[in-house]
């Protein structure tokens, strides 16, 4: 960190002159935005927008992920003074990135939320920017997938998760964080056979065609091999990456609604994501961070790093 810059920089979320470059603002002070990017609804000239989807009314266990976007932003504040480690380039300096803020919605009408998310994300994509979303429970991903499929066609998905989220549910009006991927597949938004789910460790016999690399595969084969297998499955097809923070073992991410033992370590997730470089990533999200159960902040810290890796992974093929 530049001590001289830290003496004068403050509230970069509003005061920074452009959308590129590091920030040396004191980590513990100022208005928090993701990676100290400038808040803006005008995305002219912006390459990537980060937005929050603070919805958690579709959970099967512990709530609290409506507070996830705020916690992830705060946890990200230690990172913007340096280039993301190991990538060989600085996505914050080479690409224009904005914090688009959170989506507004009527909390008493959860049935309307998937459509609102689709419109919200489509509005970002329509301005020419890519989108990374901060959840929220995992149901928010369905609207994101639909918006991206409108632009790019049916998608491959890379899903880091303890659960497949493909439990059958033919009532498309239901909002449920455990059935959204089933709906995405049966409606043709996602191509299951060109998609892969990583870290699974809960039973669901009907995978509806998704490729599964479960947690034991990750531990047995190692994250480098897992990444190569994933790249063979998705090829160069337009790909969306969704990272449920419960893919990590509760030892690394306790602040989530449906924790399951035997999960990935933060190291395994970091290596796997880094080694996915070269995929045709068109968007992504990180979800299910529940700050009320995150007593040390470790879960939000992990999610902030995942989101930063998503930025770098997206930028890798566009440098």
- Residue 29's pLDDT band (cuts 50, 70, 90): very high
Give percent above pLDDT 70 in the chain.
99
**138 in a labelled binding site:** yes
Give the model's confidence band at 14: pLDDT under 50 very low, under 70 low, under 90 confident, else very high: very high
N-to-C CA span, the chain: 25
Share the mean pLDDT of the chain.
96
- Binding residue per annotation — 5? no
294 is in an annotated binding site: no
Could you give the CA distance from residue 302 to residue 291 in angstroms, rounded to a whole number?
12
Mean pLDDT of 108-113: 96
* Confidence (pTM): 0.97
Do the Cβ atoms of 30 and 12 come closer than 8 Å? Answer: yes
Q: Would you place residue 3 in the very low, low, confident or very high pLDDT band (cuts 50, 70, 90)? A: low
152 appears as a binding residue in the annotation: no
For residues 143 and 114, is the Cβ–Cβ distance under 8 A? Answer: yes
250-294 pLDDT tens trace: 999 999 999 999 999 999 999 999 999 999 999 999 999 999 999
Structural domain for 40, as ranges:
3-316
Is 244 labelled a binding residue?
A: yes
Which are the contacts of 316, defined by CB distance < 8 A and separation ≥ 6? 87, 277, 278
CATH of the domain at 211: 3.40.800.10
Number of domains in the chain: 1
Q: pLDDT at residue 112 above 80? A: yes
102 is in an annotated binding site: no
Tokens of 304: 């902030």
Residue 7: predicted pLDDT = 87
Beta bridge partners of 155: 190
pLDDT-derived band at 2 (thresholds 50, 70, 90) equals low
CA distance 183 to 218: 27
For 84-93, write each residue's pLDDT tens digit.
999 999 999 9
């Amino acid at each position: 960190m530049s001590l001289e810059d830290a003496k004068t920089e403050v509230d970069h979320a509003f005061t920074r002159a452009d959308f590129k470059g590091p920030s040396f603002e004191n980590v513990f002070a100022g208005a928090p935005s993701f990676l100290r990017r400038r808040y803006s609804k005008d995305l002219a000239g912006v390459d990537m927008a980060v937005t929050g989807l603070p919805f958690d009314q579709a959970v099967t266990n512990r709530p609290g992920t409506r507070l996830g976007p705020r916690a992830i932003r705060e946890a990200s504040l230690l990172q913007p003074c340096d280039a993301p480690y190991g990538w060989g380039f600085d996505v914050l300096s080479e690409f224009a990135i904005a914090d688009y803020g959170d989506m507004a919605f009527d909390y008493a009408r959860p049935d309307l939320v998937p459509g609102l998310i689709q419109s919200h994300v489509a509005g970002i994509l329509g301005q020419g920017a890519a989108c990374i979303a901060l959840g929220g429970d995992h149901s928010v991903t369905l609207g994101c997938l639909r918006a991206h499929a409108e632009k790019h066609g049916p998608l491959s998905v890379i899903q880091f998760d303890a659960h497949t989220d493909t439990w059958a549910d033919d009532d498309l009006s239901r909002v449920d964080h455990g059935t959204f991927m089933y709906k995405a597949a049966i409606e043709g938004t996602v191509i299951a056979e060109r998609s892969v789910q990583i870290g699974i460790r809960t039973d669901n016999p009907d995978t509806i065609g998704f490729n599964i690399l479960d947690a034991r595969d990750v531990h047995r084969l190692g994250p480098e091999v897992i990444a190569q297998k994933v790249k063979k499955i998705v090829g160069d097809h337009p790909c969306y990456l969704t990272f449920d923070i419960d893919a990590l073992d509760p030892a690394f991410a306790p602040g989530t609604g449906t924790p399951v033992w035997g999960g990935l370590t933060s190291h395994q997730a970091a290596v796997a994501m880094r080694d996915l470089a070269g995929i045709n990533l068109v968007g992504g999200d990180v979800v299910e961070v529940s700050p009320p159960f995150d007593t040390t902040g470790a879960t939000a810290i992990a999610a902030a790093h995942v989101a930063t890796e998503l930025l770098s992974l997206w930028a890798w093929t566009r440098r």
